[in-house]
Amino acid sequence: MPSPVASVHQPSPPNAAAHSHGTQSAPEADKEKKLSVLESHGYFLGKTIGTGSYATVRVAHSERHEGSVAIKIVSKFSAPADYLKKFLPREIQVVKGLRHPNLIRFLQAIETTHRVYIVMEYAENGSLLDIIRKDQVIDESRARRWFRQLVDAVEYCHERGVVHRDIKCENLLMDAEWRIKLSDFGFARGHVRSKNGQPSLSETYCGSYAYASPEILRGIPYQPEYADVWSMGVVLFAMVYGRLPFDDSNYKELIKQVSNKVSFPKDPKISSTCKSLINKILAPLKSRIRISGIRGDAWYTFEPVPGII
């Protein structure tokens, strides 16, 4: 399912941003009736770029931002109660405090009786999944560049106590300069450190099976930062091989696969250093590499010598 392709300004609180029906003169009131809630905020809807069971994402022209934005439109009638009461407010709260070149920027939230509108940066070049489907595989040079951007984004979040918990190719969007933008913080959680500094465990088992760490699949309380790292390894594998490392069509088989060493396809031919890094990420929790280790890895730090292939 496509994710919001979405840029953060001074965010407005959800309720404060809602359409106001203050005291108006009759002509003003008549004019206001003719405008939709979004139009009254300067947003003019365009094509649909993503659909889900209770949310739609559409491109819109923004007068304020002088260009295109993406708007996630959540129906209060279709969305589950726990999503509206727990996950959606948490998503808005989390993204309001984040600003990084490799994160989709939150712009504004508007709430009405029937809907919640989340206005975001528009990433016009689609998702990483779209690119993999088109190109089949991503060469290691491009994969390295995009993986570094993903690491930057995730480390930035983790340093601020935010875990994403749904890192996957569909949620990695591309802006006009073909830079990675991590999006969709619908399962994100803040304040992951407890008061004594020890990691706070998650017990919400969210995200996609194919990208989920073994501890999530087994349903045990887990450290979400390390589950994010696992998902990043699945993304790296998907880029260089053009397919996912694990088959999520059978849950019991999936548990077996994630418990064993990664099986690498014969083609395409991938460098031993790249495979080594993937092995270090897609590893049991006790031996799984941390972000600091990834930053020091030989494949990650490799810089080709100009003029030498």
Which positions make up the binding site? 72
Q: Tell me which residue of 186, 228, 225 sits closest to 91, measured CA to CA.
A: 186
> Which stretches within 42-160 are classed as H helix?
81-82, 88-96, 128-135, 140-159
What DSSP state is assigned to residue 251?
A: H
The active-site residue, picked from 166, 175, 184, 228, is 166
Residues 6 or more apart whose Cβ sits within 8 Å of residue 200: 191, 192, 193, 194
Distance, CA of 191 to CA of 158 (rounded, Å): 9
Q: Is 184 a catalytic residue?
A: no
268 preceded by a cis bond (ω within 30 of 0): yes
Sheet containing 43-51: give its strands across. 43-51, 55-62, 67-75, 115-121, 106-111
Going by the annotation, the residues of the binding site for ATP are: 72
Q: Is 210 in a helix, a strand, or coil?
A: helix
What DSSP state is assigned to residue 35?
A: S
Positions marked catalytic:
166
